[in-house]
Structure formats: C-alpha cells, structure tokens
A and B are shown apart, each in its own frame.
Chain A
Amino acid sequence: MDNAERIVVTGMGVVSPVAIGVDAFHHALAAGENGISVVEFPWETGYKVLRAGCVKNFNLAQFFPDPPQMGRASQLAVAASMLALRDAGLDFPPAHSDRSGLVVGTAMGDVDEFETAWQGFRHAHARNGDTRDLMRLGNMSDRLAAIFGLEGPNHVVASACAAGNHAIAWSAELLKRGEADVMLAVGTDTIGFVDMLGFSRLRLQAPERCQPFDLHRKGTILAEGGATLVLETLSSARRRRANILAEVAGYGISCDAAGPFASRLDDTRGMRVAFERALRSAQNSSEEIDHVSAHGSGTRLNDHKETVFLKQVLGPHAYKVPVSAIKSMLGHAQGAAPLFEAIASVITLNRGVIYPTTNYEAPDPACDLDYVPNQAREQRLETILSNSFGVGGNNALVIFRRWQG
C-alpha cells in the first residue's frame, strides 16, 4: 500500500446459492457442489428452461427478527452483513458508530422493489405511501446503516459485475484516509426479469451449466446472493484484538473504454491498467501472485480474453499460477460475485485449499492455463489476485495477502 496504515479483513459473511455462512461455503466449494437449479419467471425470455443460482430456503427473519420491509437484494445484504459482523466480533450498533461505515456494491439493486412500486404507480394504488426512499439504488446502504447503527461513511457504487470489488476498494480508501476505523464492503444482487431477459437475449446465458474456460462453454448462469467483508485499519484491529484473516494488499480500477459491444480479444489495455494499479498499490511484483480467483464467467469471449490478459501481465509465470473460477458452482451473482470471490480468496489463504473450476471437461487450446479442473487442491499461498470485470467495461482487481502478523 502507498500508505502506512494497512487494511485488514477481520470478518466475513456470505449468503450464496451453495451455502449460507463461511464454513458451509468453504465445504461446498471445496466439494465442488452445484448451486444452479431451474427457476421460473412469470414472463418468457426465449429459453424453454431457465437455470439460475438462487439462495435456497432463505428467510431474513432467521437472522433478524421482525425485519423491516425491503427488497430481496437488501435482505441478502443484511443477512450477510450480520454474519460478517458476528464473525468479526463486533457489536451493532458498534461502540464507535461514527467511525464505522459501509459501501454497497450492486449492479441492479432491489429490482423487485422498484418494479413493484412502478406497477403501483401505473395502477394508481400506491400513491399514499411514503415513497421518498425509492431511489433506484441509494436506499440500500441507508437501510443497512440504520439496521446496524453505522453512522460513518455510507455509499453505493453501481459498477455492474465489478461493483463488489469497487466496494472493497472504496472502503479501503476511506479507511486509509482516516475517515473510518471499520468498513463493511458489501456486494449484493438478486435476479430480476430485466437482467435475465438481457442476458438471454444477448445469448450470454448458458442453457444448462456454467463451464468457465471449457472448450464447449456456452455462457454464464445468473445468480443471486449477498456477501460482506469487514475491513478494518490494522491499528483498529490490533486495538480490539480482532482475529485478522488477511490483508487487502492492493487494488486497481479501470475501464476498457471500448463500448458495451466493442470489446476485442486483443484489447486488454483497460485490464492491464487495473492490474498495474493493483500491483503498484500492493507493492508486489507479478511473480508474487501465486493464485488467481478469475472473473471466469463462462462466456466465450470473456474467458478467452481473461486468459490472454493473464498471460500478458504475468508472462511465463502465468502457466505456474492456478486459476479458479467459482462461478462454475455459484453462477454469476453480478455485484455480489466479486465478494463471493474475495471471501473464497481469504478462506484459501487461511485454509490452504484452492477451489476448483467445475464442469471443466474439454480443454480449450485458446485457454491454456491451469484452471484447477473439477478437484480442489491443497496448496499454501501468500498472494491472491481476484479479478472482476463488468458489463460496460468496468475492471476492478483486488490483491489479498496472507496475514503474517
């Protein structure tokens, strides 16, 4: 980091299609469990059968008695944040509430909520309620802040599928600037009709499975979930004798600047800018990256392009670095996906288990790295690069480092 104050992870919470809670998440990923199932929408999308990664048997009341009314993405975020705060050993409201804040990263927000409100407006039966909170996304962070009593910095960032890593980076920056001692970096999204329709119409949604880096990959599978990291300044963590799980060593943000449909295989400049920024802020060399948690969405272009990018920035070292794509098990939870991958990275650093890329059957000559096919692998690691790339060209990369306190 370019600042004396180091930023550490002291708590994690996850609500995902394969499991709820960090331990169960770890065991499910290590076993290569599949979180994808058939879903139904009241409207057609052009696919006979739709599959998605849904969080099963989720009921916010199990986490939070008598919860206030909110959309599903907010509910998932509340549950994940509650688990993360408990994991960090933090009370809520925290002792120094004005030194505790959050950044929520989401691609679409509470789509169910504003779609319902919109139908209400159109049919003129919802005009008497207090609807002033119905921003598109803004009220998500407010709700969490109110529930957990966080009175410090409070922001929402909407950088499509890279939003979760944006939330980590922004939270870390606020901690480094001294504007807070504790920040929750939250990623959340649910599956709305518009994103399912959009991915389906663009033929980015795979009909059956998400097969990152496989020769026969046919696209991604949309998913939902909520995940939260508790980030803290090292001095704050030490002051309260917190269990430090990892260090957020660096991060880099950039744009492809190529247009939503103009992304070319050979144009990895934007990704490279993000990588160089991340490496610089982590004060690492590329040879020190010993594992990549890939964006690995399973689309033909993105997986190939991510491979080209990794080979460009890591050079011959790329062939020695295991690359995991856990979207193969979870599906693509958009704004929550980077937080899933961040949590997986932190667990990997602590437990020495690299998660597999499942559904990997036929190697693609164009994607010729070590993708940890189908079986978890035990290996002690020091530094993990977690990639996320979003629709529109958003790139956000985070480097996690094993904590050696």
Chain B
Amino acid sequence: MGPRSRVVVTGAAAFSCCGFGAEAFWRLLRDSTAVNGNVGGGILRRFTPLEIAPSNDPKVKSDHPLAARLLAAIEHDLGQFLKGLKPDEKESVGVVLGSAYGHLDSYLSYYQMGTEQGYQFVNPRHFPSTLPNFCTCEVNNAYSLWGSSTTVASGLTAGLEAIEYAAAAVERGEETAILAGGLDEINDYNQETLEAAGLRSPSGVVRPFAPDRDGTVPGEGLAVLLLQSEEGARRTGRRPLAEICGFASAHGIRWKDPSAPSRAAKTVRQALAAAALDSKDVDAVFLSASGSIEGDEFEFMLLREVFDKQLPSVLLCPIKAAIGECFAASGVLQSLGAVYAVGLAPEGPSSDIGLPFNGTELRLAQQLGRRSAALVYSSGYDGTFSALVVCRPSA
C-alpha cells in the first residue's frame, strides 16, 4: 500500500441565511457577526436560481427547490473548476452529501398528492426527487462527475460524516477531488419535530450558553467543501485553504445521559489522535451549541472534559447564533468557519468576549485572527456526534 495522501480544502460553496456563496458566510465571520450575532435563525429567501446564478448550461439546473439552490451555489463558487476538468479527470471526481431530512418535503407532497387527490395527479417525473439520493445525483449529473455519488443519511451529523467519508476516499487515492457537504431545509416535519421535542426557542433567538437561552431556531442551508489530495491541488493550481487532519464519529450520545460527555470527549480525542494533535494544540472550536437548554449544558461538560483547566483560554465560535439549527448542514457550515479560521482569517490575535457559564468564563470569539488548528464537532438531538480537526495547511 502506498503512502496515504494529505487531504486539503481548496474551495467551498455555501448558501445560508448569511447570504449566497461561501464568501458571504466568511464575510460574516470577518465582520464578527456570525459568532456572536444573536441572529434569529434563518429561512432562505425563496428565489429563482437563475436570478442568482445565471448559467447558460441547461445541465446546471433543477426544478427541485433544494437541488436548485445547491446547484446554484456550486456553480457560483466551484463551477469554473468543475467545468475546467477534462472528461477523464471527471472519472475520479465524486460527490458525497449528508442530509438529516433528505428533502422530505418532496416525499410528503408526493404522498399527500397520491393519497388525497389520486394517483393520476402525481407527476411521474417527480418520483426520483422523493429519494434521499436525489440532490447528490443532481450534482454528479450537472457536471458529469462519474466518481462516487454517496448520500449519507445518519441524522444531524450526516454533513460531517460526509466530509469524513470524502476525506477517506481522497486519502486512499480513490478520488482526486470530491465535493463533500451537507444540506437541509426547513419543512413542516422538522419544525413539528423540534416543537414536539421542546427544543424550539419561544423567543426565536439562538443564545448559546446564555443564562436566559430558551432553545434553538430552525434554519436551513447548504455548504460544500472541495477536497483534493495535496498533490492534486498542486497539479490543478489550487491553493490549499486548510487541511483535513482527523475525524471520528459516534452515535447514541444522548445529552441527558450522564455518560454522554465522556463518550463524546472520547470521540473528540480520537479525532485529535488521528490528527496527531493534543487538546492543547486546538486554538479554536466551532461548536454545535444551538441555544438549547440541555444541549448547551452537555457541550459545556464535554468541553470541560476535553480541555480541562485550559477551557477558559479556548476560543469558542458558536455559529448557530447566526445560522440557527441547520440540521445536517450545520456541521459543514461550522467546518466552513474552521476553514476561514485556519486559511483566510487575517494574521494576528483574535478578540473575544467572556461569558460566565457554570462557574467558568467561556471565551466567545468576536474577531477571528488566523488559527493553527480548529476543532469542529456536531452534536445532534438525535444522539449523533461527529468531530473533525481542521489545520492550517503546510506551506
């Protein structure tokens, strides 16, 4: 077996309530509003994709709303790279996307139409969009990417798990480049689920670790990272923004379970060990905190277990304050934040504000300076947990 390739991030696409395009998301971090913004979650502005991403290519279109947004975002940020690939190169470029709800709206509207109005009113051509793999395949189709096409559906951490899956495929040399990301939309089903579980904020504001936090706010969005081998990045002339150094995931980690923080901490340590790092090497954490009462409590215990006495000096970036709970897209948007922190933020110190929580002063990022190693983790109310370590790329 040959040496495994280093996996680097060389591009990204995004669409969230922060705006269209990865740059819009990074701009929010630059302006320090994403990490402490107290924005009340986010529903994407309904739009005609062509308004945002004019394209003469009929393949880069979809009549499915979520797929259309995904394609528009990829076309905006990564279209030039993807279209510049030669046909043979496209045989080793794949797509891996994670989704918790898998555009369930399509399924439910098909079901509703068929059961309430009758089979003859159902558009046969809409059937493929009821399948969870639809959006992933739409990306493969739009750019003729014959590499892998994988849809991860493991719940709220599916986006981070997609990055994990994709990085492994690049590392072993199966793909030279891969689009890895997550997407989810607000639908009646997940709104009801949050409501029924008592997780939804009555005030409509996400306030991670605040003493008066009262729950989370559903959001929606999508984010995609372009992963390449280090050698592939060099060959295609793309600048590595960050390196994917380690990851790990676990399930069955219920916030209320007394053993949950220890099990999650073990998973974080596994990810750090894979990156050959120690918790002392981590200088930013893009955490999962969504303002839920029990979830933030769990995360505090997790952080204390991982960082111990070092915790008051660790820079915390709770971006769900700006984007809301975007389900499987959240972890990838957090990763996008980590890519900014290690690859794009200005050199220099970060500024922060202190927030006392359970007797510890937490440092919430205000202005991000360039970081060396960022930890990203996703902790779902469904018991899923994934951790990813993102490092400054070697010169």
Contacts and interface: CB of A to CB of B under 8 A. Distances in A.
A46 B119 CA distance: 7
A378 interface: no
Contacts of A351: none
B110 A156 contact: no
A193 B130 CA distance: 12
Nearest to B111: A194
A121 B189 contact: yes
Nearest to B123: A201
Interface string A229-273: 000000000000000000000000111111111100000011001
B389 to A, nearest CB: 15
B193 to A, nearest CB: 5
A160 B197 contact: no
Interface stretch (B26-34, B154-162, B338-346): B154-162
Interface string B234-249: 0000000000000001
Contacts of B107: 136, 194
A40 interface: no
Contact of A255 (B132, B146, B196): B146
Contact of A138 (B118, B133, B146, B153): B153
A173 B96 CA distance: 15
A277 interface: yes
B269 to A, nearest CB: 13
Given A156-B153, A156-B154, A201-B124, A44 B382 contact: no
Given A134-B193, A142-B382, A158-B133, A254 B250 contact: no
B111 A193 contact: yes
A136 B141 contact: no
18 contacts: A44-B118, A44-B119, A107-B131, A130-B196, A130-B197, A132-B193, A132-B381, A134-B189, A136-B132, A137-B154, A142-B382, A155-B154, A198-B110, A200-B119, A255-B146, A257-B143, A273-B146, A393-B137
B219 interface: no
B108 interface: yes
A257 B140 CA distance: 5
B168 A202 contact: no
B170 interface: no
A141 interface: yes
Contacts of A106: 153
Contact of B108 (A118, A255, A261, A392): A118
Interface of B: 1, 90-91, 94-95, 99-102, 104, 107-108, 110-111, 114-115, 118-120, 122, 124-125, 127-128, 130-134, 136-137, 140-141, 143-156, 158, 161, 165, 168, 172, 174, 188-189, 192-193, 195-197, 199, 249-252, 381-384
A100 to B, nearest CB: 13
B134 A135 contact: no
A135 B133 contact: no
Given A131-B193, A137-B132, A197 B114 contact: yes
A255 B148 contact: yes
Contact of B102 (A139, A142, A158, A262): A158
Nearest to A105: B153
Interface in A95-145: 106-109, 114-115, 117-118, 121, 126-139, 141-142, 145
Contacts of A269: 91, 146
A340 interface: no
Given A134-B193, A394-B137, A3 B150 contact: no
Contact of B382 (A133, A159, A197, A202): A133
A2 interface: yes
B122 A257 contact: no
A348 B47 CA distance: 54
Contacts of B130: 194-195, 198
B2 to A, nearest CB: 8
Interface string A179-196: 000000000000001110
A-B residue pairs, 9 tightest by C-beta = A138-B155, A198-B127, A255-B149, A392-B137, A260-B128, A201-B124, A158-B132, A255-B140, A137-B153
Interface stretch (A70-78, A146-154, A217-225, A397-405): A146-154
Contacts of B100: 135-136, 138
A45 interface: yes
A166 interface: yes
Nearest to B130: A194
Interface in A149-176: 151, 153-160, 166, 170, 173
B154 A127 contact: no
Given A118-B189, A391-B128, A138 B156 contact: yes
Contacts of B192: 121, 127, 131
Contacts of B250: 151, 154
Given A135-B100, A156-B152, A255-B140, A197 B119 contact: yes
A259 B141 contact: yes
A177 B156 contact: no
Contacts of B249: 153-155
A254 B146 contact: yes
A390 interface: yes
Given A157-B153, A255-B145, A261 B125 contact: yes
Contacts of B122: 197, 201
A136 B125 contact: no
B149 A394 contact: yes
B370 to A, nearest CB: 31
A133 B136 CA distance: 24
A39 interface: no
A31 B128 CA distance: 35
Nearest to A124: B192
A114 B133 contact: no
Contacts of B108: 118
Contacts of B383: 133, 142
B168 A138 contact: no
B193 A255 contact: no
Given A121-B188, A201-B124, A253-B149, A154 B95 contact: no
A270 B154 CA distance: 26
A45 B115 CA distance: 9
B49 to A, nearest CB: 17
Contact of B128 (A139, A154, A254, A392): A392
Contacts of B152: 155-158
Nearest to A260: B128
A4 interface: yes
B148 A253 contact: yes
Interface string A1-27: 011100000000000000000000000
Contacts of B199: 132
Contact of A391 (B131, B153, B174, B252): B131
Nearest to B199: A132
A61 to B, nearest CB: 24
A226 B60 CA distance: 37
Given A135-B382, A139-B155, A142-B251, A393 B140 contact: yes
A123 B94 CA distance: 42
A86 B141 CA distance: 42
